[in-house]
């Protein structure tokens, strides 16, 4: 096959590049050589520093030539070579000359090249020209300057921010793309000034924005403004009319952007959704795959929150199941799974069964996940859905796919008790012929937990023991453990299990034999029916409360000697960032009907973290950790937020600090807290942060003592104190000497809500009755004029920090009264229930009746005091 570049070789091309130095330049030849160099770079070849420098210097000679084509190639290669600062100086004057040339192509490109390779110092020299270029009458030149501005804003914001007058002028440009680029830059210059962005949106949504791209951008800004102003929302949403108007734009790009924006509005009503759904539905039957995909993907997202709104599209969705593009088909299926009602499940599953055989694993995983959610939504349909899952489990498939199915079955077993027995049997059948060791061991472990609790545990033994006979050592070892669990939990099975375990003593693998020996000796009795000691069970099957990574390091460091390895020597400090853990926790799918699982696990994480710090280990049980409160504005040098940990007699403030300056290393970071406005608190300990490198979050702590069990409140002023050291960005090494410095942080308060745990109750009425009227306190309060009933309700909920029950936090639009049920646990582990009745009159005066029941009279009174203040 012929290629102009066949047999091309870097060394030879670099030789050829000498033509750049010829006194009589051959522009065509030079262009060809540059193309070859670019080809090499594009294919992934790289030049050494010397080679790049050499090419760069000879390329600079080409500025003598007047051939436009060649000049364009010169611009390209300069950008690709990304010269160092001292090299940039060589071409600066040539490029500045081009920036002021009469040829527009030169000007536009020279601006882009110069801005790409320049650093801050040079920028001030050319700033004047760039400002002129922004308002240049040639749109290509103006766009080049504006786009360069967008890039430069990342590195030199203070300079680019000075251009806002020119950018503002460019927003009015008649050239469509100039307007788009100007709009993008202007918003970024002003992104921290909400009012300015809001004004910008107000003026532009009235005027005419020309290009579809600019229109899309404006829609995005509008959504942001709506998001930020939605807190005081009552009546019509601001700018909704504009978004809806965009649904009738002539460009599909804009229509879609607007439809998507509407579906993503927070708390969108079905009336607001309808026009957006209508246009998306039209897109579903478009001949263009991209349009169908975009529409079905958006509807799929809507179906998660507003399934009813999407049901109108179900017929179109069903026809998409046979779409050529499998991504579209999969999205259609999963949307249908979300919007379908209980009676349609069977029919839908039939359609899916045909569909599953001809799609790739990655799509199947998506479908499996959707089926799991469906099963949790309609628990009565578990037979059909479990049957489907077990069928696909038997078919061919890769590891990820099988894992998704197994995970789904496990979730369903956990959530739907009726599904347990059949689910476990499906899993048993699966491990009879499972090629994935990981899955086999996971299932065996799960069987060990769930199997003994079933009505007839003995029927699983056969499947488990088969593993001991047939599988590899890893699976055999887990099968032995599972057998032992059955033996320990089900006393009647013990003699038979012992027979099986004894056979494992002759296994040819050490681990399998060791496990069998251990279990035989600890589970107790010599095979007779006796109850296994609780401590033994805890020791054998309890969870290990050590970070595994720490255990691994300790084991690696352990040198075989007379002294046995002591597990107590393993550090309990969790090394990984709590942020990462929190993220992981947030990602976990929380089953329906189990809302409090999320926050509880966060407390758990913090609890372990705090206990591992010696200074705080005596504080006892952690009662509550607040959500992080930001103490700095976005995009400042140092980002700090605080988490308030409440203990019975103490509070610990955990300051999460991030250093956003690459050239700095902070050391000995502490927070100086002024608690003069928090009289009941007394500082007892601080834990400074040794070093805070760039972009690696670190924590420092300050602990206060407070009267026991008392919900003390107060205001805290904070200063970040540290030693700052300069870091050389190229080597990453910090200088020896540092300078002490301070950084003022915002203040925060410990509020009564910090002493209240959000704990829901499943049946408020029952809970209310069972607490009884002994410590009930009822009073009425006038809340004065409020923006809306909704706002008043959410303010009171936030003030109390309690968990709204039975969906009563949602206030119907235009209602004149509302009842809200709250539940929580107050410090000292006192259960509290609150019934709030709100009423509003025509002057928006809100009145509230507050009824509290709790286990303690004092607490009931305390809740009233909270509100009274």
Partner 1 sequence: MEFCPSVKNILLLDSEGNRVAVKYYSDDWPTNSSKEAFEKAVFTKTQKTNARAEAEITMFDNNIVIYKFAQDLHFFVTGGDDENELIISTVLQGFFDAVGLLLRDNVDKKEALENLDLILLCLDEIVDGGIILETDANVIAGKVATHSMDSGAPLSEQTISQALATAREHLTRSLLR
CA 404, 409, 412: angle at the middle one, nearest 5? 125
Contact with partner 1 (CB under 8 A) among 107, 190, 260, 372: 260
471: which DSSP letter? S
Give the residue among 357, 422, 437 at the shortest CA–CA distance from 392.
357
Nearer to partner 1, 137 or 220 (CB): 220
Contact with partner 1 (CB under 8 A) among 137, 199, 288, 462: 288
Q: How far is the CB of 39 from partner 1 (least distance, A)?
A: 6
Query: How many alpha carbons lie under 13 Å from residue 420 in its C-beta half-sphere?
Result: 17
Contact range with partner 1 by CB under 8 A, out of 286-294, 302-310, 450-458, 759-767: 286-294
CA 820, 224, 269: angle at the middle one, nearest 5? 45
Task: Write the CB contacts of 560 (distance below 8 Å, at least 6 apart in sequence).
Answer: none
Nearer to partner 1, 35 or 605 (CB): 35
Nearer to partner 1, 67 or 776 (CB): 67
CA atoms of 336 and 315, how far apart (whole Å):
10
Q: Does 257 bind partner 1 (CB under 8 A)?
A: yes
Q: How far is the CB of 27 from partner 1 (least distance, A)?
A: 6
Query: How many alpha carbons lie under 13 Å from residue 810 in its C-beta half-sphere?
Result: 6
Residue 812: how many other CB atoms lie within 10 Å: 10
Task: Write the CB contacts of 330 (distance below 8 Å, at least 6 apart in sequence).
Answer: 359, 363, 366, 367
Element (H, E) at 846: strand 845-854
Q: How far is the CB of 170 from partner 1 (least distance, A)?
A: 15
CA distances from 438 to 121, 393, 403, 499, 543 (A): 57, 15, 9, 27, 19
Q: Does 20 bind partner 1 (CB under 8 A)?
A: no
Q: How far is the CB of 187 from partner 1 (least distance, A)?
A: 6
Query: What is the size of the binding site for partner 1 (CB under 8 A)?
Result: 70
Contact range with partner 1 by CB under 8 A, out of 101-109, 342-350, 622-630, 704-712: 101-109
625: which DSSP letter? E
Q: How far is the CB of 130 from partner 1 (least distance, A)?
A: 15
Nearer to partner 1, 103 or 762 (CB): 103
Q: Does 102 bind partner 1 (CB under 8 A)?
A: yes
CA distances from 753 to 648, 679, 773 (A): 15, 18, 24
Pattern 34-63, partner 1, x by CB under 8 A: xx--xx--xxx-x-----------------
Q: How far is the CB of 1 from partner 1 (least distance, A)?
A: 8
Contact with partner 1 (CB under 8 A) among 55, 59, 88, 112: 112
Nearer to partner 1, 144 or 652 (CB): 144
Residue 37: how many other CB atoms lie within 10 Å: 25
Contact range with partner 1 by CB under 8 A, out of 208-216, 313-321, 416-424, 722-730: 208-216
Nearer to partner 1, 291 or 488 (CB): 291
Contact with partner 1 (CB under 8 A) among 122, 123, 140, 473: 140
Give the residue among 510, 500, 424 at the shortest CA–CA distance from 469.
500
Contact with partner 1 (CB under 8 A) among 9, 12, 69, 194: 69
Q: Does 217 bind partner 1 (CB under 8 A)?
A: yes
Pairing of strands 748-750, 777-785: unpaired
Pattern 161-180, partner 1, x by CB under 8 A: ----------------x--x
CA atoms of 510 and 474, how far apart (whole Å):
11
Q: Is 148 left (phi over 0), alpha (psi -120 to 50) or beta?
A: alpha
Q: How far is the CB of 140 from partner 1 (least distance, A)?
A: 7
Q: Does 869 bind partner 1 (CB under 8 A)?
A: no
Contact with partner 1 (CB under 8 A) among 16, 51, 54, 67: 67
Q: How far is the CB of 28 from partner 1 (least distance, A)?
A: 5
Give the residue among 656, 615, 617, 613 at the shortest CA–CA distance from 638.
656
Q: How far is the CB of 46 from partner 1 (least distance, A)?
A: 8
Q: Does 517 bind partner 1 (CB under 8 A)?
A: no
Q: How far is the CB of 56 from partner 1 (least distance, A)?
A: 18
Tell me the Cα Rg of the chain: 34
Residue 798 and residue 753 in contact, taking contact as beta carbons nearer than 8 Å = yes
What is the separation, in whole angstroms, between the first and last Cα of the chain? Answer: 85
Q: Does 406 bind partner 1 (CB under 8 A)?
A: no
Q: Does 293 bind partner 1 (CB under 8 A)?
A: yes
Residue 847 and residue 863 in contact, taking contact as beta carbons nearer than 8 Å = no
Contact with partner 1 (CB under 8 A) among 19, 96, 253, 540: 253
Q: How far is the CB of 398 from partner 1 (least distance, A)?
A: 15
CA atoms of 219 and 239, how far apart (whole Å):
10
Element (H, E) at 241: helix 240-246
Nearer to partner 1, 109 or 641 (CB): 109
What would you measure as the largest C-alpha separation in the chain, in angstroms?
104
CA distances from 852 to 374, 490, 712, 758, 795 (A): 38, 47, 21, 15, 17
816: which DSSP letter? S
Q: How far is the CB of 166 from partner 1 (least distance, A)?
A: 18
Contact with partner 1 (CB under 8 A) among 289, 344, 773, 785: 289
Nearer to partner 1, 225 or 796 (CB): 225
CA atoms of 598 and 589, how far apart (whole Å):
10
Contact with partner 1 (CB under 8 A) among 18, 66, 97, 765: 66
Beta bridge partners of 836: 820, 850
Residue 292 and residue 330 in contact, taking contact as beta carbons nearer than 8 Å = no
Nearer to partner 1, 185 or 820 (CB): 185
Q: How far is the CB of 76 from partner 1 (least distance, A)?
A: 6
Nearer to partner 1, 134 or 516 (CB): 134
In terms of Cβ atoms closer than 10 Å to its own Cβ (0-12, 13-18, 19+), residue 231 is exposed
Give the residue among 584, 643, 650, 575 at the shortest CA–CA distance from 620.
650
Q: Does 453 bind partner 1 (CB under 8 A)?
A: no
CA distances from 520 to 239, 488, 494 (A): 73, 10, 10
Nearer to partner 1, 2 or 506 (CB): 2
Contact range with partner 1 by CB under 8 A, out of 137-145, 158-166, 350-358, 422-430: 137-145
Residues in the chain, overall count:
869
Q: Does 364 bind partner 1 (CB under 8 A)?
A: no
Contact with partner 1 (CB under 8 A) among 94, 156, 179, 187: 187
**Residue numbers at the binding site for partner 1 (CB under 8 A):** 1-5, 24, 26-28, 31, 34-35, 38-39, 42-44, 46, 65-69, 71-73, 76, 102-103, 105-106, 112, 116, 140, 143-144, 147-148, 150-151, 154, 177, 180-181, 184, 187-188, 212-213, 216-217, 220-221, 224, 252-253, 256-257, 260, 287-291, 293-294, 297, 324-325, 327
């Amino acid at each position: 096959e012929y290629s102009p570049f066949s047999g091309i070789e870097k060394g030879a091309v670099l030789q050829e590049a000498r033509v750049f130095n010829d006194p009589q330049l051959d522009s065509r030849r030079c262009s060809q050589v540059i193309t070859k160099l670019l080809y090499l770079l594009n294919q992934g070849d790289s030049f050494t520093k010397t080679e790049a420098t050499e090419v760069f210097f000879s390329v600079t000679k080409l500025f003598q030539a007047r051939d436009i084509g060649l000049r364009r190639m010169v611009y390209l290669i300069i950008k690709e070579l990304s010269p160092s600062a001292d090299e940039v100086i060589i071409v600066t004057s040539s490029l500045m000359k081009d920036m002021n040339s009469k040829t527009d192509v030169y000007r536009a490109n020279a601006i882009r090249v110069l801005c790409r390779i320049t650093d801050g110092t040079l920028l001030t020299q050319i700033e004047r020209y760039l400002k002129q270029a922004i308002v240049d009458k040639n749109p290509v030149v103006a766009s080049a300057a504006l786009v360069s501005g967008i890039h430069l804003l990342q590195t030199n914001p203070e300079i680019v921010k000075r251009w806002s007058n020119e950018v503002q002028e460019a927003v009015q440009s008649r050239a469509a793309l100039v307007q788009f680029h100007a709009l993008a830059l202007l918003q970024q210059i002003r992104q921290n000034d909400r009012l300015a962005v809001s004004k910008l949106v107000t003026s532009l949504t009235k005027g005419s924005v020309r290009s579809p791209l600019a229109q899309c951008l404006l829609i995005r800004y509008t959504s942001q403004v709506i998001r930020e102003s939605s807190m005081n929302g009552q009546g019509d949403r601001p700018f909704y009319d504009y978004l809806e108007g965009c649904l009738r734009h002539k460009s599909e790009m804009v229509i879609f952007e607007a439809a998507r924006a509407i579906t993503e509005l927070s708390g969108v009503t079905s009336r607001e959704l309808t026009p957006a759904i209508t246009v998306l539905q039209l897109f579903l039957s478009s001949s263009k795959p991209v349009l169908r995909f975009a529409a079905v993907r958006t509807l799929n997202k809507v179906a998660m929150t507003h399934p009813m709104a999407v049901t109108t599209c179900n017929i179109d969705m069903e026809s998409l199941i046979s779409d050529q593009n499998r991504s579209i088909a999969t999205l259609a299926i999963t949307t249908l799974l979300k919007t379908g009602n209980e009676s349609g499940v069977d029919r839908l599953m039939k359609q899916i069964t045909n569909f599953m055989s001809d799609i790739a694993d990655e799509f199947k995983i998506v479908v499996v996940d959707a089926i799991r959610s469906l099963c949790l939504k309609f628990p009565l349909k578990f037979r059909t859905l479990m049957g489907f899952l077990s069928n696909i489990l038997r078919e061919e498939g890769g590891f990820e796919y099988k894992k998704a199915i197994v995970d789904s079955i496990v979730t369903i077993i956990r959530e739907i008790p009726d599904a347990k027995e059949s689910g476990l049997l499906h899993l048993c059948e699966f491990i009879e012929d499972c090629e994935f060791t990981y899955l086999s061991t996971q299932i065996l472990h799960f069987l060990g937990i769930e199997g003994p609790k079933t009505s007839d545990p003995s029927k699983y033994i056969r499947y488990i023991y088969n593993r001991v006979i047939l599988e590899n050592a890893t699976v055999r070892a887990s099968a032995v453990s599972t057998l032992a669990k059955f033996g320990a939990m089900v006393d009647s099975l013990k003699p038979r299990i012992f027979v099986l375990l004894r056979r494992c003593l002759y296994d040819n693998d050490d681990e399998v034999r060791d496990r069998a020996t251990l279990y035989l000796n600890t589970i107790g009795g010599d095979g007779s029916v006796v109850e296994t000691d609780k401590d033994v069970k805890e020791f054998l099957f309890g969870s290990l409360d050590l970070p595994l990574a720490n255990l691994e390091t300790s084991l690696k460091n352990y040198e075989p000697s007379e002294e046995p390895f002591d597990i107590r020597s393993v550090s309990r400090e969790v090394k990984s960032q709590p942020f990462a853990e929190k993220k992981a926790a947030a990602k976990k799918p929380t089953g329906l009907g189990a809302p409090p699982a999320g926050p509880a696990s966060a407390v758990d994480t913090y609890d372990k973290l705090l206990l591992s710090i010696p200074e705080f280990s005596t504080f006892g049980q952690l009662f509550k950790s607040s959500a992080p409160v930001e103490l700095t504005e976005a995009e400042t040098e140092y980002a700090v937020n605080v988490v308030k940990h409440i203990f019975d007699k103490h509070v610990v403030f955990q300051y999460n600090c991030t250093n956003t300056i690459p050239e700095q290393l902070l050391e000995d970071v502490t927070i100086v807290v002024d608690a003069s406005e928090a009289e009941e608190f007394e500082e007892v300990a601080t834990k400074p942060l040794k070093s805070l490198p760039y972009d690696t979050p670190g924590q420092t702590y300050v602990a206060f003592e407070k009267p026991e069990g008392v919900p003390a409140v107060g205001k805290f002023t904070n200063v970040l104190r540290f030693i700052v050291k300069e870091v050389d960005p190229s080597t990453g090494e910090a200088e020896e000497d540092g300078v002490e410095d301070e950084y003022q942080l915002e203040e925060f308060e410990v509020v009564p809500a910090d002493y209240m745990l959000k704990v829901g109750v499943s049946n408020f009425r029952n809970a209310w009755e069972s607490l009884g009227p002994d410590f009930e306190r009822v009073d009425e309060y006038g809340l004065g004029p409020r923006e809306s009933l909704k706002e008043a309700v959410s303010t009171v909920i936030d003030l109390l920090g309690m968990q709204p029950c039975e969906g009563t936090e949602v206030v119907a639009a235009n209602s004149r009264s509302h009842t809200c049920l709250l539940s929580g646990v107050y410090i000292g582990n006192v259960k509290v229930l609150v019934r709030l009745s709100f009423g509003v009159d025509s002057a928006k005066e809100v009145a509230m009746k507050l009824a509290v029941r709790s286990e303690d009279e004092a607490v009931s009174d305390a809740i009233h005091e909270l509100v009274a203040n």
